[in-house]
Chain A
Amino acid sequence: MTMPISRKKTKTDPIVFAAVELGAHSVRMLIAECRRGKSVARTLEELELPIPLGVNVFRSGKVSDSAIRVICEIFENFKEKMEEYDVKQCSAVATSAVREAANANILLERIHHATGIDLQLFDGADQARLGYYTIRSVFPSKRAFARQNILLADIGTGVCQISAYRKGFLAFTESVKSGSLRVLDMLPGTLSSFALRDCLTPIVRQSFLEIEHGGMSLASDAIVAMGASARILLRFFPNAKKSTENLLDISASEFFAMRASVATRSIEQMADEFDIAKDMAEAAIPCAIILERLLRISGAKRILIPRISMKYGLLHIFLNELTGKADDFDEQILSVARMTAEKYKCSLEYSSRTVAFAEKLFLKLKRLHGLGSRDLLILKVAAWLHKTGLYLNNQASHKHSYYIILSTEIPGLSYEERRIAALTARYHRKSWPKRQHLEYTALSAGEQSRVLKLSALLRLASYLAETQALPQKLSVSMPDEDTVELDPGLSESALDFELTGKDGLAYLSHVLAVHAEISQE
């Protein structure tokens, strides 16, 4: 008998990708087949198993030992499933429930030990990014998404991540400590399911007061509700079951009618009638109250509930990597930066020119500084926000900028990246980094080097923006290995070179070990 020979793998062979999501109520996995150069994936498997992780973490502050064992077992099964499909790439993330657990790292290590899977902990901003990709994948078209103002509410057990999109661009994202279990925990004692609803409403209202007073407009056309408890609400709309679309679109009045109808049922009745677990029925009540609150404060007329979870966002990111597409979320990061600059009354004309100068300098001097595209993004964020400190005080405004950037949730940037952006802004004027600056010396050598280079570029960019120079007229040349010549395209009289200009050149020269000078025709 001749044994069949396996085909040789080629570059065009599809890649099987797995996205795993460890949430508060369940573990989910998506296995999809992706092809290089194509941005459409074919779903092969979708698995979901319930786990009471949210309650576990929220009540005791940690994931119990038995829950860790159960989760490891589920991950082992998922690993077996991946082997069935010869999965080569896997992305696994844990959402807020795990993030809040004191022993999150132990859980991560146990999972890695049992399966080799590296589970990433997502913070709120990461989650907002994933949420963006998830809703993008369920919206019928990019244009439909860009036409309206949307408030995305990712309702977790402890935190509700609110992200506001204005005509397709992210304006801000905030974590509100008002998750489906947290608000239940804030109740004075054990209440009947009917009393529960009455008592929860003021608690939820209180939690959202800060965001209402935060200075950013919440006015929206629609609310997109995400998270396991929001998906449970899908069951409350009987027509939703038959629809095959990935998005349930209901009017505010339909939603209020549902709320009124569900309000007459006990939790047990809800669980029975809608075929859901009792804990999920319990979580659905605060979720509905949170959405009701958001409808009222945003004036939105519709609620959209995607039927899919964040694992689709992971798939979207993977597809982007596979197709070599630029991560279009960078636009959203810069949008948040721009909106934040606007919030702090920065001059948008000046800031946008600073961004353009910074980008041009970055690109022209790439051979010298050797930084990557991610650093350019951080530089642009810092360029948008480097003057926000002025909103607080003229004195030491660069230090205020540092604090503001560090405290602003910017989805898509990790905390470490945000810190680099903040320090870049902090060193755009005045003192160069010193050993006495604790926030700087706390960085690793690599990070310090990035801060030095980025802040040098920003200092010079901000100087150029302060003049009447135009970014498109800026010329950067290197007549020899040791010299950088900048021509802003202005007459000498238009160039005030005495103070910041010289300092900027000196700082750049210091950081890149070159001689930087202004050359004018």
Chain B
Amino acid sequence: MTMKHLEVQYVQRDESWLEFNARVLEEATDPGNPLLEQVKFLAIFSSNLDEFFMVRIAGISTQAQEIPAKLYRDIHYIPRELKERLLARIRELVGKQYDYLNAKVLPRLTKSGVRIADWNALPDNLKKVARKQFETTVLPVLTPIGIDPSHPFPLLPNLSLELLVRLNCTDKATGSAYERFAVVEVPPVLPRFLRFSSADGTIWFLPMEDLIAHELQTLFQGCEILECAPFRITRDMDLSIDEDSISDLLTEMQIALQKKKDRRVIRLELDARMSDASRKWLMERLAVPAESVFPISGMLNLKSLFETTSVPHPELKNEPLPPLPSIACAGTSSMFAAIRKNGPFLLHLPYESFDPVVRLLEEAADDPDVLAIKQTLYRVGSNSPIVSALIRAARQGKQVTVLFEIKARFDEANNIQRAHELAEAGAHVVYGIAGLKVHCKALLIVRKEKAGIRRYVHLGTGNYNASTAKQYTDIGCFSDDRLLAEDVSGLFNVITGFSNPPPWNKLVVAPFNMKDSLIYWIDREARLSSEENPGHIVIKANAAIDYEVLERLYAAAEHNVKIDMIIRGICGLNPKCLSPKAAANLRIVSIVDRFLEHARIYRFRNNGTPEYYLGSADVMPRNLRRRIELLFPVEDAELRKELDMIIDMQLGDKRKGRLLLGANEYSETASPKKPDAPGAQRRLYEWYEKRYKKFMESKSPKKGRLVVYRDQERKENV
């Protein structure tokens, strides 16, 4: 393989991720996005960054402390240096975020009648209302904690907003004055903003910490308040459990969650106006080094800006794209009949509605011929209709088996609660497999029919979560294919520990055969490819960072294989490290738009006999080695056409598709010539809408000829 050695061959995953988040931030500045959508992107940027600190920066910090220098080569970077680079870039991006928020977004919001303002800007009449609310709602839940030698510094929860108060108190006995610190938590049970409407129709959002800061004297009577500044800590939340040495994963996970408060502080965000003395005092108490301190020029925790986007200003939001009904399920008496008659068929979320999945489960729960239901659940969300249907099915005596992946990050507590509910209903709940996270999305229903046992499957690229199904683009497939069902059944046998992995008929399953298959497909493409008959690989995934696979992709590009990738987030490839001819074969697009791109599609030309796969796996070492993931083939010609259409639209997205130019370097879309031009997501919605309308027209009963007279004509006729 000819490589240009001066160019970096692979981009480090965290640096690549950070650039993905930079693209999210770019969306906040895209004039084509309505103002409240820009606010959302600012919130998403912060939310993403919180997770990045909790997991990745925490992990790299540990590596920097623990891994001896000689092992650096195994992880392809020097943790200390990487951390410095990441933190520097984060500071740059956060600076940009606040600059844009303060200079552009907030003034524009004000102009549009939405004000996110501090206490001083609030009109007097609203201040009065705010004070009243403080007394009735806020004050009762406030717990100021004074810190002195007999009251040590408290254990502060992760990501909670706190106020550091510096006080000047007087000793009653001696009359001498002394300084002390106190901490007041902004209670998480309260909304972040108090919302008011003024007479002129303006909607006001007053940050809760501002209200509390203004009313602090009520809490510290007898003391002089010298200073009050908000701060927020981020802890290391990478819950790693030694699964080989434990017997009960559920209990261990619960213990780990209880210990969340104890974990070390990875980031300290504080108001940039906080005095040096207070800052130093706080850093000492939290044992935070200077590099982890982030002075913020503005409101902390921009994630909570989500709360402000619910205002009734449709002109400031994206035009709604309500999920469309699936044409394959329309007009059928049951989902089982729909699958038998129209299957296999795809469901493309959120363009199409998630209802068929819920409907299938609900029908299965009540159907006396259904013998068993098996499902993997990763992030279900609260009040999940999926879990409710499973509970009902279990109560009706069906064999319900649920693999509840309680290790799904940041959803652990919610998952444990739902898992308990299922187990109480009589379902067989499996809490994951030691050492492997179950990330595949599979549903299997065993039904006794006249012709014998028939198994129905739904396989997807996204979680069984009715809420995210409205925001994430995912593709699911309903089928009653015998071999596919046999594989899915085998997969559940592996997950539940009932059997060793079987020889798979159709499924490609990690960690058993996925990586080998992926490498085999790529190598096959390279082998079959020539200048006259070039191969073609399409990979749409969230991330591509497995260096072994990437190396094969580079080699394939050098062998005339055209490689098109739609990689939303982390991408380790650098086209510039290839020869110009090979680099021209590599096209990588990242789409960041109103929906979160989440579907994974793999397509291989295979010398004219193409193969298509959908699934849960990204091209990442964790997906291919440490998780149970699956890819399933799409064999139906019509469904393949649908996938081709999706791929073509996304690859051709000039509006929201950013092209990878070099190492971590993407083209810009923030200032396009036509800000209102539709991106691939909008065009896809239109495609599905058109298809649905056409289908409904074909189904509507033929009526007599309808003649519509225009007024003039009618008059004339009269």
Contacts and interface: CB of A to CB of B under 8 A. Distances in A.
Contacts of B498: 47, 49, 77-78, 81
A58 to B, nearest CB: 22
B368 A45 contact: no
B369 A7 contact: yes
Nearest to A277: B500
A43 B483 CA distance: 10
Contacts of B448: 86
Contacts of A33: 452-453
Given A4-B367, A86-B371, A14 B497 contact: no
A248 to B, nearest CB: 13
Given A5-B368, A33-B453, A84 B499 contact: no
Nearest to B398: A84
A102 interface: no
B430 to A, nearest CB: 11
Interface in B384-431: 399, 428
A507 to B, nearest CB: 54
Contacts of A49: 497-500
The secondary structure that dominates the B interface is mixed
A83 B399 contact: yes
B366 A84 contact: no
A33 B399 CA distance: 19
A80 B453 contact: no
Contacts of A35: 452
Interface string A251-273: 00000000000000000000000
A3 B367 CA distance: 8
A80 B428 contact: yes
Interface in A24-51: 33, 35, 42-50
A460 interface: no
A4 B449 CA distance: 13
A84 B399 contact: yes
B302 to A, nearest CB: 47
Contacts of B440: none
Interface in B328-368: 366-368
A90 interface: no
A16 interface: yes
A45 B490 CA distance: 7
Interface in B93-123: none
Interface in A432-447: none
B486 interface: yes
Nearest to A15: B452
A299 B151 CA distance: 90
A85 interface: yes
Nearest to B363: A4
Contact of A80 (B399, B451, B455, B502): B399
A6 interface: yes
Contacts of A5: 368
B509 interface: no
A182 B349 CA distance: 60
A4 B490 CA distance: 29
B304 interface: no
A321 interface: no
A43 B452 CA distance: 12
B452 A14 contact: yes
Interface string A75-107: 001101101111000000000000000000000
Contact of A50 (B372, B490, B496, B500): B500
Interface in B165-206: none
B489 interface: yes
Nearest to B450: A7
Contacts of A6: 368-369
B493 interface: yes
Contacts of A78: 498
B399 A77 contact: no
B446 interface: yes
B486 A44 contact: yes
Contacts of B446: 84-85
B502 to A, nearest CB: 6
- Of the listed residues B367, B446, B498, the one surrounded by the most CB atoms of chain A closer than 10 A to its CB is B498
A433 B196 CA distance: 109
Given A6-B368, A84-B399, A48 B453 contact: no
Nearest to A45: B489
A279 to B, nearest CB: 14
B502 A46 contact: yes
A13 interface: yes
Interface in A52-78: 77-78
Interface string A1-12: 001111100000
Contacts, number: 63
Nearest to B369: A6
Nearest to A73: B497
A13 B448 CA distance: 10
A476 to B, nearest CB: 48
A258 to B, nearest CB: 21
B453 to A, nearest CB: 6
A47 B452 contact: no
Contacts of A86: 371, 448
Interface in B447-488: 448, 450-453, 455, 486
Given A49-B499, A77-B497, A4 B450 contact: no
A5 B368 CA distance: 7
Interface in B488-512: 489-490, 493, 496-500, 502
Nearest to A34: B452
- Of the listed residues B371, B452, B455, B497, the one surrounded by the most CB atoms of chain A closer than 10 A to its CB is B452
- Of the listed residues B371, B448, B451, the one surrounded by the most CB atoms of chain A closer than 10 A to its CB is B448
B447 to A, nearest CB: 11
Contact of A14 (B367, B368, B372, B453): B453
Contacts of A77: 496-498
A360 B208 CA distance: 103
Interface in B365-383: 366-369, 371-372
B483 to A, nearest CB: 11
Contacts of A50: 500
Nearest to B449: A7
Given A78-B498, A85-B446, A16 B453 contact: yes
B660 to A, nearest CB: 37
A5 B448 CA distance: 13
A50 B498 CA distance: 11
A4 B368 contact: yes
Nearest to B367: A4
A6 B371 CA distance: 11
Nearest to B485: A44
B371 A45 contact: no
Contacts of B368: 3-6
A49 B496 CA distance: 12
Nearest to B498: A77
Contacts of B399: 80, 83-84
Contacts of A83: 371, 399
B499 A48 contact: yes
A489 to B, nearest CB: 54
Given A4-B368, A80-B399, A84-B371, A42 B450 contact: no
- Of the listed residues B446, B497, B499, the one surrounded by the most CB atoms of chain A closer than 10 A to its CB is B499
Given A46-B502, A48-B500, A85 B453 contact: yes
Nearest to A47: B499
- Of the listed residues B451, B453, B489, the one surrounded by the most CB atoms of chain A closer than 10 A to its CB is B453
Question: Which 5 A-B residue pairs are closest in the complex by CB-CB distance?
Answer: A47-B499, A6-B368, A84-B372, A14-B452, A84-B399
18 contacts: A3-B366, A4-B366, A4-B367, A4-B369, A6-B369, A7-B450, A14-B452, A42-B452, A43-B486, A44-B453, A44-B455, A44-B486, A49-B500, A81-B493, A83-B399, A84-B372, A84-B399, A84-B446
Given A81-B493, A85-B446, 9 more contacts: A4-B367, A6-B368, A44-B453, A46-B499, A49-B497, A77-B497, A83-B399, A85-B453, A86-B371
Interface of A: 3-7, 13-14, 16, 33, 35, 42-50, 77-78, 80-81, 83-86
